[in-house]
Chains A and B, each alone.
Chain A
Amino acid sequence: MDTGIDVNTLQSEIESGAELAISTAALNLWYGSFQALFDVNLDIKKGRVTSLIGPSGCGKSTFLRSINRINERLGYVRINGSVDVFGNNIYAPEVELVQVRKQVGMVFQRPNPLPTSIRENILFGHKLHNRDRKYSRDDEDEIVESALQQVLLWDKVKDRLKRKATDLSLEEQQKLCIARLLPVKPRVLLMDEPCSALDPKGTAAVEELIWELRGKYSILIVTHNMAQARRASEECIFMLMGKVVEHTVTADMFVTPAHQETADYIEGRYG
């Protein structure tokens, strides 16, 4: 059932010769009558870590949430323009939301593991999307191990997979929240200030993990921490009041910003 979509995405990828993970065209978004995004045109490359910076309230989270269509839950949100994920417009009428959510995983500011065991957390999405297939316990163990290996958590928790996920440290919880997305094989990972609830050590560890996942997944990470954007991303987008000001290679943005606003923000002249 899900192979249909995969073939489609693959095909359009080949046709367009694209290596774009996300491509938005004239994306506008309104909360009721308040416009939060203005004509956002962004091409986010496959396999890269792209960071999204800008002052608080400029629409970073809004943009992120429009890429897995979680915004729509609020009845008063209106969107026009398009968001292509691997060449398919996710706002096309025939698109199934569940498939979007499956391919575009999201990590939040506060780690939000479910109040079950570590193992069950990892298997939650997997079981949800594979209800039609039988998996043996060994298969499941393998899935759990592989997901936890990828987020560099396996060695720490392998002896306590049955323990409550909510008993882990915040850093470990956040890693677990990333890990539980992986078994359903997402292609894009969205992270909304994933380190802002963590201490410096946890932040460093999660940044290291994000860097590790580069290449395998296309990662878009919102941060208000410029040092983090600088350390942990390859490309960087600067937004201001719902508009994209600048999108370049991270190193360039921080050394030779092309716009005055960018320079001002980087130097700390906005909140």
Chain B
Amino acid sequence: MANPGIADNQFLETELNVSAKRTETLFRILFMVMAGLLILPVLIILTTLLVKGSSIISFDFLFTSPTDGMTAGGIFPALLGTVWLVGVALIISVPVGVAAAVYLSEYAPDNWFTRAINLAIINLAGVPSIVHALFGVGAFVIFFGFGTSILAASMTLAVMTLPVVIVATRESLQAVPQAFREACWNMGATRWQTIRRVVLPNSVSGILTGVILEVSRTTGETAPIMFTGAAFFIPVLPESVFDQTMALSLHLFVVSTQVPNVPEALPYGVALVLISMVLLMNSASIALRMHLRGKKKW
């Protein structure tokens, strides 16, 4: 075998092959273990929350107000407040983000202006949320005079999540084959007619996915709303965007660190509700994407 002169069969394994195979196996296992490790934190977080928090979850917990200095009662104002904050943030960021993405993907020529916008988006995505919080205070609370309110907090969240919406939308617009646009233009359609009749209808799935991801990210944010519109404790429910509100994420922070004598299950219960909302929306986004992708063909 080592002597090619005899060469009865040239296709037999050599020592070089053996060592290559050994290395191959080693690296495959190494990479697999690393990838497998990812599951651990998810499992640990979920089981801990379930074990320690599920006992407190009940209809009353979800739908009544906190009592006894937030050491008992439910979380309804915080739950509702999170819905308000996320909802208003969406109403602001989705139109702006989608419009900006449509411009960048369908209209923008390659010039310094476009490059400047792209640079701004990248940088906006990298700004830490605490900096967004300070920006929100300066811009929305003080300069525009919204005060600490749902409006100011939601606008801060909207600015923060805008890059997510823009990038997701732009990617799904660019996934629409160029041939469709050419077909339209050659029949005399304007850019807008092309966008409205062909490009947007074929990219909604991606856009929706981006929007849902934004929602789930917004739901958990604490820093940006802390100084701009969310409060530790408010006995009444918000009635308009100019009211302050409680929020789940901040409530979790408060009951975990700021209030004495909280029963152990309470913070875990709040965390469980928060993470369930996020996971639910992520799953919805995945399901929606698969459903819509199954329907389109090109």
B27 interface residue (CB < 8 Å to A): no
Inter-subunit contact B297/A101 (CB<8 Å) = no
Q: Which of A87-130 contact B (CB under 8 A)?
A: 97-102, 105-106, 108, 110, 112-115, 124-125, 128-129
A128 adjacent to B109 (CB under 8 Å): no
1/0 per residue B191-234: CB within 8 Å of A?
Answer: 00100011000100000000000000000000000000000000
Question: Of A70, A110, A114, which is within 8 A of B185 by CB?
Answer: A70
**Residue pair A101, B180 in contact (C-beta under 8 Å):** no
Chain A residues, CB < 8 A from B40? none
Shortest Cβ gap from A98 to chain B (Å): 4
* Residues of chain A within 8 A of B276, CB atoms compared: none
User: Known interface pairs A124-B197, A167-B297. Does A112 touch B179 (Cβ–Cβ under 8 Å)?
Assistant: yes
Q: Known A110-B179, A112-B179, A115-B298; judge A73-B187 contact (CB<8 A).
A: no
- Are A114 and B198 neighbours in the complex by a CB distance under 8 Å? yes
When distances are taken between beta carbons in the complex, the residues of chain B under 8 Å from A110 are: 179
The reply to whether the CB of A75 lies closer than 8 angstroms to some CB of chain B is yes
Asked if B187 contacts A184 (CB within 8 A), the reply is yes
Asked if B179 contacts A164 (CB within 8 A), the reply is no
A-facing residues in B149-204 (Cβ within 8 Å) = 179-180, 182-190, 193, 197-198, 202
Cβ of B184 and Cβ of A105 under 8 Å apart?
A: no
Are A180 and B185 within 8 A (Cβ)? no
- Top 3 nearest A-B pairs (CB, nearest first) are A101-B188, A112-B179, A125-B187
Complex CA gap A189/B198 in Å reads 23
Known: A128-B193, A166-B298. A114 touches B180 (CB 8 A): yes
Would you give the shortest CB distance from B115 to chain A, in whole angstroms? 15
B-side residues, CB < 8 A to A, are 109, 179-180, 182-190, 193, 197-198, 202, 296-298
Which chain A residues lie closer than 8 Å to B187 at the CB level? 101-102, 105, 124-125, 128, 180-181, 184
Q: Find out whether the CB atom of A98 lies under 8 angstroms from the CB atom of B188.
A: yes
Contacts of B185 in A (CB 8 A): 70, 73, 101
On whether A112 and B190 interact (CB within 8 A), knowing A124-B197, A166-B297, A167-B297, the answer reads: no
**Is A68 within 8 A of B186, CB to CB?**
yes
How many residue pairs, one in A and one in B, have C-beta atoms under 8 Å apart?
58
Q: Which residues of B contact A115 (CB under 8 A)?
A: 180, 198, 202, 296-298
Q: Kindly list chain B residues whose C-beta atoms are within 8 Å of the C-beta of A128.
A: 187-189, 193
| Among A73, A102, A112, contact of B188 (Cβ-Cβ < 8 Å) | A102
Q: How far is the CA of A29 from the CA of B111 in the complex (A)?
A: 24
- Chain B residues near A102 (CB, 8 Å)? 187-188
19 interchain pairs (CB within 8 A)? A73-B185, A100-B188, A101-B185, A101-B188, A102-B187, A102-B188, A108-B182, A112-B179, A112-B182, A113-B183, A115-B198, A115-B296, A124-B187, A124-B197, A128-B189, A166-B297, A166-B298, A177-B183, A184-B188
Taken together as a complex, chains A and B put the C-alpha atoms of A102 and B184 apart, in Å, by 11
B109 touching A112, Cβ below 8 Å: no
**Distance A75 CA – B197 CA, assembled complex (angstroms):** 25
Cα of A47 to Cα of B182 in the assembled complex, Å: 26
**Interface readout for A164-197 with B: 1 if CB under 8 Å, 0 if not?**
1011000000000100110010000000000000
Q: In the complex, A177 Cα to B297 Cα: how many Å?
A: 17
| In the complex, residue of chain A having the shortest beta-carbon distance to the beta carbon of B176 | A115
CB-defined interface of A52-92 with B at 8 Å, one 1/0 digit per residue?
A: 00000000000000001010010100000000000000000
Flag if A108 contacts B179 (CB, 8 Å): yes
Contacts of B182 in A (CB 8 A): 70, 108, 112
Give CA–CA (A128, B296) in the complex, Å: 23
Give Cα distance in the complex from A13 to B189, angstroms: 27
A249 to B84, CA, bound (A): 74
Minimum C-beta distance from A84 to chain B (A): 19
Q: Which chain A residues border B197 with CB–CB below 8 Å?
A: 124
Distance in angstroms from B107 CB to nearest chain A CB is 12
- The answer, among A112, A181, A184, for a CB contact under 8 Å with B180, is A112
Least distance between A118 CB and chain B CB atoms (Å): 14
A112 & B202 in contact (Cβ 8 Å cutoff):
no
Tell me the smallest distance from the CB of B176 to a CB of chain A, in Å. 9
Task: State how many angstroms separate the Cβ of A78 from the closest Cβ of chain B.
Answer: 16
Determine whether the beta carbon of B109 is less than 8 Å from that of A114: no
Residue among B179, B183, B190, B298 making CB contact with A98, cutoff 8 Å? B190
Q: Given A110-B179, A115-B298, A167-B297, A70 and B186 touching (CB < 8 A)?
A: yes
Q: Point out the residues of chain B lying under 8 angstroms from A114, CB to CB.
A: 180, 183-184, 198
C-alpha gap A171/B182 in the complex (Å): 19
A180 / chain B contacts, CB cutoff of 8 Å: 187
Q: How far is the CB of B187 from chain A (nearest CB, A)?
A: 4
